[in-house]
Copies of this chain bind each other. A is one copy, B any other.
């Protein structure tokens, strides 16, 4: 690339898949990537741009003229084109759109811009094959051929009525095996799953993977067919959703990657650390309140990290399993039952751990009553931590808040404080101080 050997490079790139070139482009300097994009023809570069990393794409598009951007959009499916347009600076969007030669295509892109990114409307593409129920098979086949030009992969043929309302779908098999004069009305399958434009992306993913669908039609509020969502876009939604939950559990907000700048990473990580800091200050304040015990029972203070760690671990475990159950929609039964079960589970784990702890502490310090006090407190702390860990995500979910924020630092911090408080309080009672 450095040598600008246009001919060789063009030949080489011809062999590569656009997803591979996008990966290479992400590695390059902005000027080099721009040069590469300008070199190749827009049929390929449009796909490369769509696959590239957001930051890199933005930088490259900045180096392209309005006309060049419009040329790229022309080649893309409406959903990918709309995604790129939504990232462009506001002042040039208008210009880019007006440069698109295919006015139908431009109109579709503008239509898609109205929808929120995370809804079915934001995920769908306008490209689809639809036929009118009043047509006969012959007209239908002719129309389909024309429509299929614009559609990369025909998944289903959707049947609509005169008002554009979705009526059902048509199987390719039936179409090929019935006489050409039959009306579509008589052969279509009236059962078809669909989602409305405002459905959340997450819900669409659930529906499509539950029913093993490869494409789903999208209808507007009054049932008119407006687009379709294909499974490859849903795979991205599933991945993003999983990544987001994973990051929240680890105390990282916003969508960051290891290769983002230190500043972006700090913005995603620091707030959770500050939360932890205040939690730690709270714990310190609690321990300060029990200062008078330090002379006689210094050993109690040595075990605070253990208590805090166990409270945190149990809390994260129990909340994670609830968050996951909620995300996969396989949580059944009442909240009461669930809390009861978690209590039994925490009690069982707590007792096993307490016996281990008792044994080691007794051997170490030879002081049975202190060892007993610490172990009994541990059981109580674990049970409370388990119940908090189960309750908080269920409560947040009921309030319509994403329960995923309840795992990670949030639950660890609150359990640290509660755990240490319970620990000193019970130890105080048992040791009779």
Task: List residues of chain A with CB under 8 Å of any chain B CB.
Answer: 17, 19, 27, 148, 153, 173, 209-212, 214, 231-232, 234-236, 238-239, 242-243, 245-247, 249-252, 256-259, 262, 265-266, 269-270, 272-274, 276-277, 279-281, 283-285, 287-288, 291, 294, 298-299, 301-310, 312-314, 316-317, 319-322, 324-325, 328, 330-333, 338, 341, 344-345, 348-349, 352-353, 356-357, 360, 364, 407-409, 412-413, 416, 420
Contacts and interface: CB of A to CB of B under 8 A. Distances in A.
The 6 closest A-B pairs by CB, nearest first: A280-B306, A250-B320, A242-B242, A258-B325, A284-B302, A283-B305
5 contacts: A277-B306, A284-B302, A287-B301, A304-B304, A312-B412
A301 B297 CA distance: 13
Contacts of A324: 243, 246-247, 257-258
A281 B360 contact: yes
Contacts of A287: 301-302, 305
A349 B209 contact: no
B256 A353 contact: no
A280 B309 contact: yes
A324 B268 CA distance: 15
A235 B232 contact: no
Contacts of A273: 310, 313-314, 317, 349, 353
A412 B305 CA distance: 11
Chain multiplicity (copies): 2
Nearest to A294: B298
Contact of A231 (B235, B285, B321): B235
Nearest to A313: B276
A420 B305 contact: yes
A386 to B, nearest CB: 10
A256 B321 contact: yes
A279 B7 CA distance: 62
Contacts of A19: 210-212
A20 to B, nearest CB: 8
Contacts of A276: 306, 309-310, 313
B322 A258 contact: yes
A235 to B, nearest CB: 5
Given A246-B242, A273-B310, A305-B416, A338 B258 contact: yes
B312 A288 contact: no
Nearest to A269: B317
Given A246-B242, A280-B303, A266 B322 contact: no
A383 B220 CA distance: 52
